[in-house]
């Protein structure tokens, strides 16, 4: 009887093993890629990052193109947010919805690289410790580990340029650094810490990009593969221009000559808010396109912005790339 029971039990075990699905030899559970989301607002800000990256896929979501690949050793998704808080919020939400892993966003960090106004010299690069969009009532803090990596970049030294190039004004895909027209009298510095502010001069409305609108107002990176112009999105976005004050608000938004903020822009706080909400590490790298130390003595924004936008964008990209290399070293991903 005992032998019979043992044989029956053994038979049941064997049957259960046979019923299990076979796994290929050496297979392992699928892992989600550890990606960083790297954002910029307008074409001139992202072009150097995009041409430095190895892009192996492009995903279009709700009119936004996301470039999937590798940058400075990191798996990344790069994208233009468009100008303004509303655009930055919409693009970041689209990315967090599209790239998922186990029911949550698949990003291990978000980095914003772009230009800003501020209280220091033109060409300086700032990495603020916290951001606000309501003059300090609410704060969104940068990730402490990312700030530590930025400080390590500063301690090691990073070569920033003081030569201002013309840029790719018509967005025809040329190297924006081909022609330089002026040099700074000072050596640009990297500043880590301080407070940043994002303003909304558009009153909660979306600022539309313009197909063929150049390296500032265009809808696509200047050096990305060409696509059919996004005419429907442009026509819809043109509605706010019915209000004559809408476009002029863009030029009235940045900081005055004296400001308390180390950086003041129109996008970062919207991205930071979503990063904090989803518990994703976040950092913004913002270089001064308008501020102190102007050798041409231009009367502030928008004159300084259009003169020095590419200088600032290049320096922001330089620091962003150095940060990404340091982050890769620290995380081992």
Per-residue pLDDT tens over the stretch 95-128? 999 999 988 999 999 999 999 999 999 999 999 9
24, pLDDT greater than 50? no
Which of 19-33, 46-60, 218-232, 314-328 has the weakest average pLDDT?
Answer: 19-33
Predicted local confidence at residue 69, as pLDDT? 96
Predicted local confidence at residue 259, as pLDDT? 78
- Reduced DSSP (H G I as helix, E B as strand, rest coil) percent helix, strand, coil of the chain, to 5: 35, 25, 40
The confidence band for 251, taking pLDDT boundaries of 50, 70 and 90, is low
State how far the Cα of 9 lies from the Cα of 261, in Å rounded to an integer.
75
CA-based R_g, the chain, Å: 24
State how far the Cα of 324 lies from the Cα of 111, in Å rounded to an integer.
9
State how far the Cα of 152 lies from the Cα of 174, in Å rounded to an integer.
33
CB 236 within 8 A of CB 168: no
Task: Please give the share of the chain, as a percent, with pLDDT higher than 70.
Answer: 80
State how far the Cα of 75 lies from the Cα of 333, in Å rounded to an integer.
8
Predicted local confidence at residue 177, as pLDDT? 85
Quick one: 329 exposed, middle or buried, by C-beta within 10 A (0-12, 13-18, 19+)? Answer: exposed
CATH class of the domain defined by 32-331: alpha beta
Predicted local confidence at residue 120, as pLDDT? 96
The confidence band for 301, taking pLDDT boundaries of 50, 70 and 90, is confident
Torsional class of 66: left (φ above 0), alpha (ψ -120 to 50), beta (otherwise): beta
N-terminal to C-terminal alpha carbon distance within the chain: 59
State how far the Cα of 211 lies from the Cα of 198, in Å rounded to an integer.
25
* H or E element, residue 285: strand 282-292
Phi, psi of 8 (to 5 degrees): -65, -45
Please state, rounded to an integer, the average pLDDT across all residues of the chain.
Answer: 86
292, pLDDT greater than 90? yes
Torsional class of 26: left (φ above 0), alpha (ψ -120 to 50), beta (otherwise): left
In whole angstroms, how far apart are CA 192 and each of 129, 144, 284?
A: 7, 12, 10
**Residues linked to residue 112 through DSSP beta bridges, in sequence order:** 39, 284
The confidence band for 248, taking pLDDT boundaries of 50, 70 and 90, is low
- Provide the whole-model pTM: 0.85
In whole angstroms, how far apart are CA 16 and each of 13, 21, 22, 203, 228?
A: 5, 10, 12, 65, 57
Other beta carbons less than 10 A from residue 297's beta carbon:
6
| pLDDT tens string 254-285 | 445 567 899 999 999 999 999 999 999 999 99
State how far the Cα of 294 lies from the Cα of 247, in Å rounded to an integer.
26
Phi, psi of 88 (to 5 degrees): -60, -40
CB 114 within 8 A of CB 99: no
């Amino acid at each position: 009887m005992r032998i019979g029971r043992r044989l029956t039990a053994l038979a049941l075990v064997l049957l259960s093993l046979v019923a299990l699905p076979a796994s290929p030899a050496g297979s392992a559970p699928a892992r989600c890629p550890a990606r960083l989301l790297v954002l910029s607002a307008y074409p001139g800000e992202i072009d150097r990052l995009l041409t430095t990256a190895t892009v192996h896929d492009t995903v279009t979501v709700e009119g936004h193109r996301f470039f999937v690949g590798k940058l400075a050793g990191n798996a990344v998704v790069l994208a233009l947010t468009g100008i303004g808080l509303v655009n930055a919020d919409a693009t970041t939400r689209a990315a967090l919805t599209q790239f998922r892993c186990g029911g949550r966003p698949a990003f291990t960090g978000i980095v914003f690289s772009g230009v800003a106004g501020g209280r220091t010299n033109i060409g300086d690069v700032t990495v603020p410790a916290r951001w606000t969009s309501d003059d300090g009532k609410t704060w969104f803090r940068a990730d402490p580990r990312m700030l530590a990596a930025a400080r390590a970049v500063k301690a090691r030294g990073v070569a920033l340029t003081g030569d201002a190039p013309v840029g790719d004004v018509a967005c025809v895909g040329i190297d924006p650094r081909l022609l330089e027209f002026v040099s700074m009298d000072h050596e640009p510095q990297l500043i880590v810490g301080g407070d940043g502010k994002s303003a909304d001069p558009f009153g909660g409305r979306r600022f539309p990009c313009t197909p063929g609108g150049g390296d500032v107002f265009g809808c696509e990176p200047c050096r990305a593969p060409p696509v059919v112009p996004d005419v429907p999105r442009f026509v819809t976005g043109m509605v706010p221009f019915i209000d004559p004050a809408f476009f002029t608000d863009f030029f009235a938004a940045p900081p005055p000559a004296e400001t308390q903020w180390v950086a003041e822009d129109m996008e970062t706080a919207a991205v930071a808010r979503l990063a904090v909400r989803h518990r994703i590490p976040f950092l913004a790298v913002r270089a001064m396109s308008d501020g102190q130390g102007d050798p041409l003595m231009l009367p502030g924004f928008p004159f300084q912005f259009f003169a020095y936008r590419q200088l600032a964008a290049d320096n922001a990209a330089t620091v962003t790339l150095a940060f990404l290399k340091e982050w890769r070293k620290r995380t081992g991903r």
